[in-house]
Amino acid sequence: MTKWKPFLQTNWDQAGFQKQTAIQEKAIPFILEGNDIIAQSPTGTGKTLAYLLPIIQSIDVEKKGAQRVILAPSHELVMQIFTEIQKWTKGSEIGSAAFIGGANIKRQLEKLKKRPQIIVGTPGRILELIKLKKLKMHEVKTIVLDECDQLLVPEHYMSLKEIIKSTLNDRQLLFFSATGLENEEQTARDFEIKPVSIHISDQEQPANVTHIYIVCEQREKIKLLERYVKAQPLKGLAFFKDIGSMTVAAAKLQYEGISLNMLHSHLKKQERANSLKKFRSGERELLLATDIAARGLDIAELSHVFHVDFPKDIKQYVHRSGRTGRMGAEGFVVAFVTPREERTLKQFAKELGISMKKQVFYKGTLMDEESSKKTIRKGRKKWGTKRH
């Protein structure tokens, strides 16, 4: 068992955690030993803390300047990680800063003058600061690639290589993702590392999530989402394939009195932050989002995830669904599917080893398909009607 620095132990106790999750138990010792790691663990299993705790533990507070760098694919995920860093460095003299594209670079340069020890940012902005010779990387001992499957794409790949190349050869690389990399061996060769490979299965980290689906025509999906939201108190995240379909849905739902906000890449930084703030605080019951904008989001007490537009593949289903039921909390995943999509969804369930409950709306009440059949039979019996 790791003997944490006093402030870390205090923060752990205040967080109310009883024990480490499976990914934390397996990854932390290897990270503290200085190993390179490629780690895969389902969403909501505590991956962020699996690398943050050992990073914070190993910071040399006597030295100023960047010692650890964390890279993430989206603005929202960067700010989420930064919030966690601030929470877990409370009571210490460790400095940290977040850097995202689109933000005022002059203000960011001012942050660097304070010489923070932990840096978190998007690859493009981090590389820009390095090229401006404002972010010095020669003292960086660890680089984390969070949601690495989204970072190791053509859009970011060369930036990542340049960022890593700017450090000394003995630095540590940590790759973390929810669904794993398609070719770990190739990634290891590309970055010239011999990593420890860690894979956490759903069985090792059981989720308390109920998967539900409702069969309907494509044109009925928004109306069913409205009915579902009105049927019970909830805090839901609804996924759409693109900004256009989401904007149309938002107008229809708001007309019907649903309180909501949207989250997508065309919104300005402050608009995205405000949308999240209002949703997190409970001021809005529904957040409509595209997959890119919602990647890696951790929203406390998120009760429902809605697949309005069907996910493009099983990985997208897993990532979306993983926004609820995090760290063992109860959650519900609801998919509105056409008859054709139902067949694909059942195949997803088979591959993932999860059970799906089919539900229907009967006279305004949401119930399991079997329960609705019994209700209909009782009604016929009561009124003496026969089925012709």
Q: Residues 313-327: pLDDT tens digits?
A: 988 898 888 888 876
Confidence of residue 273 (pLDDT cuts 50, 70, 90): confident
List beta partners, residue 357. Answer: 212
Kindly state the helix (H) or strand (E) to which residue 85 belongs, with its residue range. helix 75-88
Average pLDDT taken over every residue of the chain: 88
- Residue 238 CA, distance from chain mean position: 14
Sign of the alpha-carbon torsion through 58, 59, 60, 62: negative
From 5-9, 61-65, 187-191, 272-276, the region with the lowest mean pLDDT: 272-276
Are 184 and 60 in the same domain? Answer: yes
Are 187 and 221 in the same domain? Answer: no
- Residue 374 CA, distance from chain mean position: 39
Q: What is the mean pLDDT of residues 262-271?
A: 83
At which of 166, 199, 232 does a domain end?
Answer: 199
Report if residue 379 sits inside a domain.
Answer: no
CA 156 to each of CA 152, 160, 194, 195: distance values in angstroms, whole numbers, following the listed order: 6, 6, 22, 21
Give the residue numbers spanning the domain of 324.
208-374
Number of domain units in the chain = 2
Are 163 and 281 in the same domain? Answer: no
Report if residue 88 sits inside a domain.
Answer: yes
At which of 157, 179, 199 does a domain end?
Answer: 199
pLDDT score recorded for residue 372: 55
Find, among 339, 237, 225, the residue nearest to 288 by Cα: 237
CA distance linking residue 382 with residue 87, whole number of Å: 60
Are 150 and 276 in the same domain? Answer: no
Q: What is the mean pLDDT of residues 258-279?
A: 86
Q: Exposed, middle or buried: residue 113 (CB in 10 Å: 0-12, 13-18, 19+)? A: exposed
Ramachandran angles phi, psi of 108, nearest 5°:
-65, -35
Greatest extent of the chain over all pairs of C-alpha atoms, in Å: 84
Confidence of residue 380 (pLDDT cuts 50, 70, 90): low
CA distance linking residue 143 with residue 121, whole number of Å: 11
Q: Residue holding tokens 């005022």?
A: 104
Q: What is the mean pLDDT of residues 85-100?
A: 96
Look up the pTM and report it: 0.73
Are 102 and 224 in the same domain? Answer: no
Are 355 and 321 in the same domain? Answer: yes
At which of 199, 225, 242 does a domain end?
Answer: 199
Are 354 and 313 in the same domain? Answer: yes
In contact, 290 and 239? CB cutoff 8 Å: yes
Are 184 and 220 in the same domain? Answer: no
Q: What is the mean pLDDT of residues 48-69?
A: 96
Report if residue 140 sits inside a domain.
Answer: yes
Report if residue 382 sits inside a domain.
Answer: no
Are 148 and 173 in the same domain? Answer: yes
Report if residue 96 sits inside a domain.
Answer: yes
CATH of the domain at 291: 3.40.50.300
In contact, 215 and 338? CB cutoff 8 Å: yes
CA distance linking residue 214 with residue 358, whole number of Å: 6
CA distance linking residue 228 with residue 212, whole number of Å: 12
Find, among 100, 180, 99, the residue nearest to 147 by Cα: 180
Are 323 and 190 in the same domain? Answer: no
Provide the residue count of the chain.
388
